Amino acid sequence: MLAAACGGGAGETGQVTSASTAALARQQLPSWLKLPDITTLRTRGNVGEKPTWYNQVTISTKQVQQIRAKKLKAAFLNWSSGAYNQAVLAGAKDALAAMGIDLVAVTNYNFDEATLQTDVRNVMALDPDIIFYSGVDPVADAAALQPAVAAGVAVVSYANAPKGWTTGKPDNFVSLVSYDTFGNGAAVADAVAKRFPNGAKLGMIYYDRTYKLVNEREQGFLDEIRKTNVQVVTRQPMTDPAKTQPIAAAMLTRYPDLNVIFAPWDLPADGVLAAVQSAQKDVAVAHIDLGFTGAKQIACGGPIFVMSSQLVYEWGRTGAIAAALHELGQKVPPYIVVPVFAVTKDNLEQGWNLAYGGQVPLPSGAQKCLKQAG
């Protein structure tokens, strides 16, 4: 059994060749990224399932040949079009191609439930065997996917799953693929503590909605930062990620001695950055999720100095492998996770390529600053 290290590039016979072996080979982790003991992770699945590391989801050469012979079709219902999603999609596409699974549709519902419903209906006309998606509303998602469930289409969910769903419930639900949620926030907290070893005053902007993934990583940040000399002096709610600038501006006015502001992901961090720059304050910014703006800021010495990320490309690849195993009648773990890590200037280039699997280039502005610094 190979650790998903058997590739496609086969002809009509379904024979696996060595030409595309890399498409299913796991990325080699750098020395600074260690996988924790899986039993120490606090994150749990959709209905409380314990996590399984992504690299435990393996497929053999023989199984790849069997999958290729099935001539399966898949659809990827994307939920956004940012760099993060480009990498998830790239990982899935590469693995599907290596296994001879035809990707017949890629959509983007942009977090809109009505669009998700339409996308499901549209792709069902293409008669897919597998659907990949990520949800926002657990109840509405289940309703939107009902046509696929009724038709027996295998469903793989990234990040969030419909309410009550777990492997085999419904019968064609494959798995939830996610990451170490609490650890994602804790990684940022550790970096903040290292930046301010003698203490600091921190303002936190949090997502004021019930959204398991984000809620847990925010809690991971809080739990870890409270073990340090950094003081959380204010926590302010946010419901619209595009409207954080006035929240951050008010925070800076009320607490003029803040040293650092935490944002829950890259889009809200853009508003925080704008507020800090407008106020001409020497205030650092830390956030979760590796984005274009943050990468340039880190490389060029701007207010944003740390982001955390996951093996985003491996997310996509792992989901595709899990779906293939399901189609062969193999048992798939109900909750599969990839590791997380903090990205600072010291490991920006390597961390970016690790997260995005070399499929999304580091922004040119960041590359220029790193080259000048080097």
pLDDT digits (tens, 9 = 90+) for 198-233: 999 999 999 998 888 999 999 999 999 999 999 999
Q: In this predicted structure, what is the pLDDT of residue 211?
A: 83
Exposed, middle or buried, 158 (CB in 10 Å: 0-12/13-18/19+)? buried
Q: Is the model's pLDDT at 255 over the cut of 90?
A: yes
What sign for the dihedral angle of Cα 168, 169, 173, 177?
negative
Tell me whether domains 21-179+312-338 and 182-310+343-373 share a fold.
yes
What per-residue string of b and e applies to 295-321 under the rule 16 or more CB within 10 Å gives b? bbbbbbebbbbbbbbbbbbbbbbbbbb
Beta bridge partners of 11: none
Mean pLDDT of the chain: 92
Of 170, 179, 172, the closest CA to residue 42 belongs to 179
The stretch 316-333 carries a mean pLDDT of: 97
Supply the DSSP string of 169-234, one letter for each residue.
BSTTEEEEEEE-HHHHHHHHHHHHHHH-TT-EEEEEEEE-S--HHHHHHHHHHHHHHTTSSEEEEE
**Helices and strands (DSSP H and E) totals, the chain:** 13, 13
Q: In this predicted structure, what is the pLDDT of residue 212?
A: 87
Q: How many Cα atoms within 13 Å fall on the side-chain side of residue 194? A: 13
Distance CA 322, CA 170 (A): 16
The verdict on whether omega for the bond into residue 170 sits within 30 degrees of 0, i.e. cis, is yes
Strands 335-338 and 52-53: what pairing? parallel
Q: Is the model's pLDDT at 29 over the cut of 90?
A: yes
Q: In this predicted structure, what is the pLDDT of residue 15?
A: 58
Q: Is the model's pLDDT at 9 over the cut of 60?
A: no
Distance CA 123, CA 106 (A): 9
The stretch 107-116 carries a mean pLDDT of: 92
Q: Is the model's pLDDT at 192 over the cut of 50?
A: yes
Domain boundary assignment for the chain: 21-179+312-338, 182-310+343-373
Q: In this predicted structure, what is the pLDDT of residue 18?
A: 55
Q: Which residue has the tokens 């659809």?
A: 75
Give, in words, the CATH class of 21-179+312-338. Answer: alpha beta
**Fold exhibited by the domain 182-310+343-373:** Rossmann fold (3.40.50)
Taking the model in full, what pTM does it have? 0.90
Q: Which residues, 6+ apart, have CB-to-CB distance to 60 below 8 Å? A: 1, 2, 6
For the record, the structure tokens of 348 come out as: 């920006």
For the record, the structure tokens of 124 come out as: 């069902």
Exposed, middle or buried, 282 (CB in 10 Å: 0-12/13-18/19+)? exposed
- For Cα atoms 241, 246, 247, give the angle at the middle one, nearest 5 degrees: 70
